[in-house]
Amino acid sequence: MMQAGYLVAPGRVELRSVPAPQAGAGEVVLRIRAALTDGTDLKAFRRGHPQMPMPTRFGHEFSGDVLDAGAGVTRFKAGDAVMAVHSAPCGECYWCRAEQENLCERVMETKILGAYAEQLLVPAHIVERNAFVKPPSLSYEAAACLEPLACVVHNLSLLRPRSGDLALIIGTGGFGLLHAIVLRALGLRVAVIGRNAERTALAKALGAEWGKEMALDPQSIGEARALISEISGGRGADRAIECTGAVNGWLAALATVRRGGIVSLFGGPPPGSTVPVDTSRIHYDQIELVSPFHFRPQDVRRAYQLLAEGSIDVEPLISARVPLAQLGDAFVRLEHGEGVKFAVIP
Can you give the residue range of the structural domain that contains 257? 153-290
Give me the sign of the Cα torsion angle 220, 222, 225, 228. Answer: negative
Is 297 part of any domain?
A: no
Look at residue 208 in the predicted model and tell me its pLDDT. Answer: 97
Q: Are residues 75 and 7 in the same domain?
A: yes
Give the CATH number of the domain where residue 87 resides: 3.90.180.10
Closest to 112 (Cα-Cα) out of 55, 60, 170, 37: 60
CB 298 within 8 A of CB 321: no
Mean per-residue pLDDT for 228-252? 96
- 65: three-class secondary structure by DSSP: strand
What is the C-alpha to C-alpha distance for residues 45 and 8, in angstroms, rounded to an integer? 9
**Residue spans of beta strands (DSSP E) within 19-151:** 28-36, 56-57, 62-69, 81-84, 119-122, 131-133
Is 269 part of any domain?
A: yes
45: part of which helix (H) or strand (E)?
Answer: helix 39-47
Q: Are residues 75 and 125 in the same domain?
A: yes
Q: Are residues 120 and 195 in the same domain?
A: no
CB 286 within 8 A of CB 152: no
Residue-wise pLDDT for 31-68, tens only, equals: 999 999 999 999 899 988 888 889 999 999 999 999 99
**Residues of the chain above pLDDT 70, percent:** 100
Mean pLDDT of the chain: 96
* Prediction pTM value: 0.96
Domain count, the chain: 2
Higher pLDDT, 286 or 219: 286
Residues 6+ apart with CB under 8 A from 318: 36, 141, 142, 340, 341, 342, 343
Residue 298 burial (C-beta neighbours within 10 Å; 0-12, 13-18, 19+): middle
Residue-wise pLDDT for 107-165, tens only, equals: 999 999 999 999 999 999 999 999 999 999 999 999 999 999 999 999 999 999 999 99
Kindly give the pairing relationship between strand 12-18 and strand 2-9.
antiparallel
The gap from C-alpha 128 to its chain's centroid, in whole angstroms, comes to 22
Q: Are residues 124 and 162 in the same domain?
A: no
Look at residue 179 in the predicted model and tell me its pLDDT. Answer: 98
Q: Are residues 80 and 32 in the same domain?
A: yes
Half-sphere exposure of 66 (CA within 13 A, CB side): 25
The answer to whether the bond into 89 is cis (omega within 30° of 0) is no
